[in-house]
Structure 1
Amino acid sequence: MKNVLITGGAGFIGSNLALKLISKGYNITVLDNLSVQIHGENAESTSPLFQSIYNKVKFLRGTVTSKQDWEMAIAGQDVIVHYAAETGTGQSMYEIQKYVDVNVNGTAIMLDLLANTTHQVKKVIIASSRSIYGEGKYINQKGESIYPKHRTAEYMDNGDFEVKSPGSTELRLVATDEDSKIHPSSVYGITKQNQEQMIMTVCPTIGVSPVAFRYQNVYGPGQSLKNPYTGILSIFSTQIKNGNGINIFEDGRETRDFVFIDDVVDATILGIEKEEANNEIFNVGTGVPTDVITVANGLIANYGIHVPVKVSGNYRLGDIRHNYADLTKIEKLLGFSPKVNFTQGLALFAKWVNTQEVQEDKYEKSIEEMKAKGLYK
């Protein structure tokens, strides 16, 4: 089990995983298209993510939508870690065909080859996402588990951003476990659900062990500062470094579970190495919700650059209100628990950003795209 293919392995999580596996003696092949949105122009000479793995892996520049590229990449591999995907929640709501082509069809091509050709792949790790849950898990006043439907403009236009459930006057947010209802609120979430279900369904029938990791919001040094469509810490950092103000959506009290890159890599390696992971689905997070105002203020404090912060009441259709991970299963079966809390991780991330060239702030362009599609209010 020493030959590992990482699709999207020049990306943020993939490159960090590659370097850690190399240090443990694995032979790594990376299949990546070096997306301009993530890596910028002339990625092979300018992308820090690509440069971090250059000459350390067998690199194949290609796409998961190509059967030929998959055939070259799979040859001789023991494990596939499938990261290659389009990842912007908001962007997925109007670039629908691209998200389905890459995320769903790309995965289908891989599975078709595994099912119908000779290979030595023994395990497939799929990067699933907390987005497949949609809104998180709640308890009502009767002690019953509630999985609220997606929020509507009817309430949010009036500044009411919390989730609703018919017949419930009070809901208490709790950690989302792996048995929680799957009801994604974006095309991205739907494609991640499809990826996960295809892999968990097909692989056991062909003698390949599947493992799915439902990552929460991954962050840390190395995260792309060029991509204005995903990664709230990177987006806010680029705005702050450009001296631009931050527009916080809704009331700023929406929360996410931010998990540090090193913890994500460690969890993934446990999935590769432990047989207890086979045929299982795991949450990967910290189990702690952090609101967006805390993120913005924390970054400003770490950079020492004071920019105006506006809590605007704007919102994006498809965004969720709250979701944080229940880690009981991954702790029990794999012995995983996160080592880096948000305060520590934020400081490490900001320290790294301070060493990087300030990128152009393209966030407003991404918002204008959503406005034009009626998805930003």
Structure 2
Amino acid sequence: MTRVLITGGAGFIGSHAADALLVAGYEVRLFDNLSPQIHGAQRERPSYLDREAELVVGDITDALAVERALRGADIVLHLASAVGVGQSMYDIDSYVRTNELGTATLLQALTRRPVERLVVASSMSIYGEGLYRAVDHHAELAPDERPIDQLRNGEWELRDAAGHILDPVPTPETKPPSLSSIYALNKYAQERMCLITGNAYGIPTIALRFFNVFGPRQALSNPYTGVLAIFAARLLNGRRPLVFEDGLQRRDFVHVKDVARACRVAIETDRMNDVFNVGSGQSRTIVSVARDLARVMERSDIVPEITGKYRAGDIRHCFADIAKSRALLGFEPSVRFEDGLAELADYLADQIADDQAEQAAAELSRRGLVA
């Protein structure tokens, strides 16, 4: 059987990708350092991992460990990454080491042991602000970051030179990168390093730009994980979800099972050296998502707390144009947001979460990263 090595394979997306690949008949090896921030201090094999998936514990920056993990692998799905915009803005050396040096370590090994295909997880964060349209003449725009003085005044929306509010539209892969956080820079570096190396060494390579992934198995005690998991940890502890700005910023929430399927499709496509958005193709405001989650968790009495504050590295609106993924990969999201939320609520019913959102916000504020 074809063996797929999934770096970061014991994590949220990796474990679901492993499930999808095992069902499709692949042999799966997982490589993961079982980071305490994600997996807890015990660093044990997660109970949700399929027994058929081999787990190799090691760090992506350890060249010898990476070499061992690659032995016998035909395909690499590279998901290993430190995740989180906020934390990346002060834990800079750790993020660069894990995300960029770790990817370089993997690629160095692949120059000696090429594989049939490489798929790397990129991120919507590389876009910075999404694509916009001018209301008066409908021209599409890729605006710069919002000025800090504007944010301090609580003026959240992007405007054109005449002061008119810009209308956000779906963001395609053709939008130029605008890197507004260390994490965004890391993900762009990962994407480009893989595509450059793949092209040079004849390894067909695909980069998948994930939007806001949600679903069961996301680390609830990691305050820098996906926003739905952070909100869930608050609600499980009877606390109000913390929503930055005015809560009307828009994002694209895609279910982890759709993301896992996109990974399998990217492994099996004959496309090469290309990038694809992986999202739902829909947008939702952050505050509406917080309310929807409270409702399905039967905690509608806990209303979101709108902080009116801005975090360094945050952007206003970004949601996916998935036309290219549909046309060239055959990727079509299948999990409705409402169904995904219901599944998440069932998963959360038995979970205990160490809510650290306030500590994380305080750390950012102490460092001057909250306006």
Q: Is the TM-score greater than 0.5?
A: yes
- Structure 2 residue aligned with 1:101: 97
Structure 2: 5+ residue runs without aligned partners?
none
The equivalent of 1:122 in structure 2 is 116
Q: What is the alpha-carbon distance in structure 2 between the residues aligned to residue 209 and residue 231 of structure 1? A: 30
The answer to whether residue 143 in structure 2 is matched with residue 148 in structure 1 is yes
> 1:167 deviation in Å?
4.7
Match of 1:83 among 79, 83, 90: 79
Which residue matches 1:289?
283
Instruction: Find the aligned partners of 2:190 and 2:259 in 1 and give their Cα distance.
Output: 19
Shift of the alpha carbon at 1:314? 1.4
The residue identity in structure 1 corresponding to 2:67 is E
Corresponding position of 2:107: 111
Distance 2:354 2:197 in 1: 43
1:322 & 1:350 partners in 2: Cα distance? Answer: 26
Which residue matches 1:349? 344
Alignment of 1:58-207 (within 5 A): 58-115=54-111, 117=112, 119-140=113-134, 141-167=136-162, 169-207=164-202
Instruction: Report the equivalent of 1:25.
Output: 25
Distance in 1, matches of 2:239 and 2:4, equals: 42
Partners of 1:39 and 1:226 within 8 A in 2: no
* Residue type of the alignment partner of 1:16: H
Equivalent in the alignment of 2:47:
51
Alignment root-mean-square deviation, CA: 1.4
> Are 1:38 and 1:227, in contact at CA under 8 Å, matched by a contact in 2?
yes
Aligned to 1:335: 330
Cα deviation code 1:211-240 (max 9, x no counterpart): 000000000011111211121111111111
Partner residue of 1:215 out of 169, 191, 210: 210
- In structure 2, relative to structure 1, the CA distance for the partners of 1:125 and 1:35 (3 Å cut) is same
Q: Which amino acid aligns with 1:190?
A: L
Q: TM-score, normalised by structure 2?
A: 0.96
Counterpart CA distance in 1 for 2:92 and 2:159 is 28
Residue 136 of structure 1 deviates from its aligned partner by 0.2
Aligned counterparts of 2:212 and 2:227: Cα–Cα separation in 1 = 9
Residue 311 of structure 1, CA deviation: 1.6
Are 1:5 and 2:5 an aligned pair?
yes
CA distance in 1, matches of 2:50, 2:24: 18
Moved more, 82-91 or 236-245: 236-245
Which amino acid in 2 is paired with 1:364?
E
Deviates more, 1:192-201 or 1:55-64: 55-64
Secondary structure of the 1:359 match is coil
Q: What CA distance in whole angstroms lies between the structure 2 residues aligned with 1:19 and 1:244?
A: 33
Displacement, 1:142? 2.8
Please state how far the C-alpha of 1:262 moved relative to its aligned partner.
Answer: 0.9
Per-residue deviation, residues 60-80 of structure 1 (Å, max 9, x unmatched): 111111111111011111110
Point out where structure 1 has 5 or more consecutive residues left out of the alignment: none
- The answer on whether the counterparts of 2:158 and 2:165 sit within 8 Å (CA) in structure 1 is no
Letter in 2 for 1:36: P
Q: Distance in 1 between matches of 2:347 and 2:17?
A: 18
For these two proteins, the number of residue pairs brought into alignment is 369
2: distance between equivalents of 1:170 and 1:142? 12
**Per-residue deviation, 1:327:** 0.7
Aligned to 1:270: 265
User: Alpha-carbon deviations, 1:135-176, whole Å to 9, x = none?
Assistant: 000112333221111123211121111123435624221110
Deviation per residue, 1:245-284 (Å, 9 max, x gap)? 2222111101110000111111111100111x32221000
Q: Could you tell me the TM-score, scaled by structure 1's length?
A: 0.95
Cα distance, 1:210 vs structure 2: 0.4
Distance 2:305 2:106 in 1: 45
Q: Among all aligned residue pairs of Structure 1 and Structure 2, give the percentage whose two residues are the same amino acid.
A: 39
- Is the deviation greater in 214-223 or in 18-27? 18-27
Return the alpha-carbon distance in structure 1 between the equivalents of residues 329 and 243 of structure 2: 37
